[in-house]
Structure 1
């Protein structure tokens, strides 16, 4: 700040022919950083005393599923999430219909989005993709198929802050043997597609719903 006031050349960008920073902008930035520091210190104290991360307005209004609350979905796609065996999360998906091309994608983030998102694609017939960290089993019949995806708690070291807390499920089905129309299902309801792996643009927190352990 003092250097900028004493030498107006500091912060000047010759190609843009404008200042990229100046004394007033630096003061504004320092003020903002102090507010962030105060908020982080308050959050640190809350967590140290056993409290939880505060929810943003988006988090408060986001669609949510209570783990262990039973089956949900629509007439074509039913699913549920349960906790089993030392904290493992188990997703069970029941896909109805005689579609030749039928697959679903699940993607999840931890509570604060600090780790790389987990994404798994599962096809009718048993093929799965990007599932190295989970165990996937499928069973297929003429008019339906089911899949079980187990997320071992060891993946997040049994740390609730790293447990999957944001979740999206997307199913795409076509080629019905009985002539049923193709369709897409998603939870939460979304008009877009969840793209796998490194194409992160479509796998954002605002396309996910919350996974919560209880009603509180």
Structure 2
């Protein structure tokens, strides 16, 4: 719980940072961030979701499938399933979603949030890097969306991830890596409405 609380406080502080207006172009290689792409095999997370005054908690399983796709299943502790998503290099598939969550806007928001974390947009042809105050913003445009991965100047540390437009931040996330390439803690916060997700990794029987 303390880790999830830390994630929330960190995101609140990060929300006070400047937007993209004062960033300057630099020649740094944006693909350096591929070193931070999470290498999921199978990970179990305790999940807390707050959206427009409602709270959900449960377990999120993220698993790499034999065909290299990533499966995400979110359910309550009692086993009630909220959603079952699949991500691969060519797209996104909904295998199941709870009827009250089955809205285009909800599905679209969740898809983009998880694509940000999975770094699904690194193959776009128009990526570039901006800089400000020693931080480098590695930018991957996808239609109207811009995916930003912020590192230090040497691309040694991934400070945070953001999605927005060219001028405005919409959502930001942090990811603390574990020793095996899978994140131990993940936090996601939206700035255009009240929606945040906190994930803390658990060790289930298959990981011992």
User: Could you say whether these structures have the same fold, taking a TM-score greater than 0.5 normalized by the shorter chain as the test?
Assistant: no
Please, what TM-score do these two structures have when normalized by structure 2? Answer: 0.24
Q: Which has the larger radius of gyration?
A: 1
Higher relative contact order (CA 8 A, sep 6+): 2
Query: Relative to total residues, which structure has the larger strand share, 1 or 2?
Result: 2
Tell me the TM-score normalized by structure 1. 0.23
